[in-house]
Amino acid sequence: MTLRCDRPLFNFTLSPNGEDRTGNCANADPFVNINNVLYNQDGLKPIHRIHYMSYSSRDFAQLCQGQNVNISYANEFLHYRFLKQPEKRPKQLKLLSIIAKINNFFNKTMNKIQRTIR
């Protein structure tokens, strides 16, 4: 939703100056982690928003349950996800078995087929 106003608007994410950008896609640009805060590599400006649009909510649910899912900046995500309840954060991430990987692939493929048919 956009409200009309007399003041000019500026979208920092579209700025040609790398130091102005405050957020980006998790798998687009490399970031630097300093004390669980992500910074862009260009000007070391803190990233205030990181978008995980190419990952499903199921991937995050599995990550929060302690499964090692291939998500960029997973440790930083877990840090902030369990910031107020650190005792609930998984101590160690477990690798998925071959059967679980095949099952996940099969489920994703079936979901895509069902969405295409509809």
Buried b (16+ CB within 10 A) or exposed e, 71-103: bbbbebbbbeeeeeeeeeeeeebeebeeeeeee
pLDDT of residue 3: 64
Within a domain: residue 44? yes
Within a domain: residue 24? yes
d(CA 74, CA 63): 8
pLDDT of residue 106: 92
pLDDT of residue 81: 94
pLDDT of residue 55: 86
The domain of 64 spans: 18-117
Residue range 40-55, pLDDT digits in tens: 777 677 887 788 888 8
Give whole-number Cα distances, 115 to 37, 59, 108, 109, in Å: 37, 19, 11, 10
- 28 neighbors 51 (Cβ within 8 angstroms): no
Residue range 64-113, pLDDT digits in tens: 999 998 898 999 999 999 999 999 999 999 988 889 889 888 988 998 99
Within a domain: residue 5? no
pLDDT: which is higher, 28 or 57: 57
Within a domain: residue 81? yes
Within a domain: residue 2? no
pLDDT of residue 78: 95
pLDDT: which is higher, 72 or 20: 72
pTM above 0.75, yes or no: no
Within a domain: residue 64? yes
Question: How many domains in the chain?
Answer: 1
